[in-house]
Amino acid sequence: MDASSFFDPEDIHEITKPKYDGILLMYTSYFGAMKKLPDTLEPIAICGGIPGWYDGKWMKKLAPSWSIWKEWHDSTAPDKNEHYIKRFILEILEKLDVQKVVSEILDLAGGKTPCLLCYEKPEDFCHRHLVADWLNASKLAKVSEFNS
């Protein structure tokens, strides 16, 4: 299952914000790297809970439910990541309108380039990579991990 099956590409509308080859530019990163983010990026947490010190913007609708996270966290099954991916797509992403989500991200970013945050390091399994794939598949955004 991949993110390209979530929407009809014919429904894409024009967005006027920072672009790369005509596509909205966004990044992902993790809380541990926040101090390395340039001022041109607007951090937006997309996890179920945030660190006590974080007082930035937060978009909970892109977070896994407690049930999805808890089942994954407690599982010892070798296919636990694949099961998590299926649940996250079916229970979270497929229920969202990607155009509305992009618009909300832009509103939260306040004119800056959005940077979607979670806890895990870039090489670790994390739902933010699924969100990035979903947004990339929409052709509304080009999302990549920020490398300082």
Per-residue pLDDT of 92-109, as tens digits, reads 999 999 999 999 999 999
- DSSP assignment string, 68-132: HHHHHHH---TTHHHHHHHHHHHHTGGGS-HHHHHHHHHHHHTTSEEEEEESS-TTS--HHHHHH
pLDDT at 27 over 90: yes
What mean pLDDT do residues 107-131 have?
96
Quick check: 148 and 36 in contact, CB under 8 A?
A: yes
How far is residue 88's CA from residue 51's CA, in Å, rounded to a whole number?
Answer: 22
| pLDDT given at position 135 | 96
Backbone φ and ψ of 92, nearest 5°: -115, -70
d(CA 127, CA 69): 10
Do 116 and 132 form a contact (C-beta atoms < 8 A)?
yes
Across 44-68, average pLDDT? 97
> What is the pLDDT of the chain when averaged over all its residues?
88
Q: Kindly tell me if the per-residue pLDDT of 56 is higher than 50.
A: yes
The whole model's pTM is what? 0.84
Confidence (pLDDT) at 12: 37
- The β-bridge partners of 42 are 114
Residues contacting 45, CB < 8 A, separation 6+:
31, 54, 56, 57, 58, 59, 117, 118
Instruction: Check pLDDT > 50 for residue 7.
Output: no
Percent of the chain predicted with pLDDT > 70: 84
Structure-block tokens of residue 100:
């509305």
User: What pLDDT is recorded for position 146?
Assistant: 96
- All residues at 6 or more sequence positions from 55 whose CB lies less than 8 Å from its CB, including other chains: none
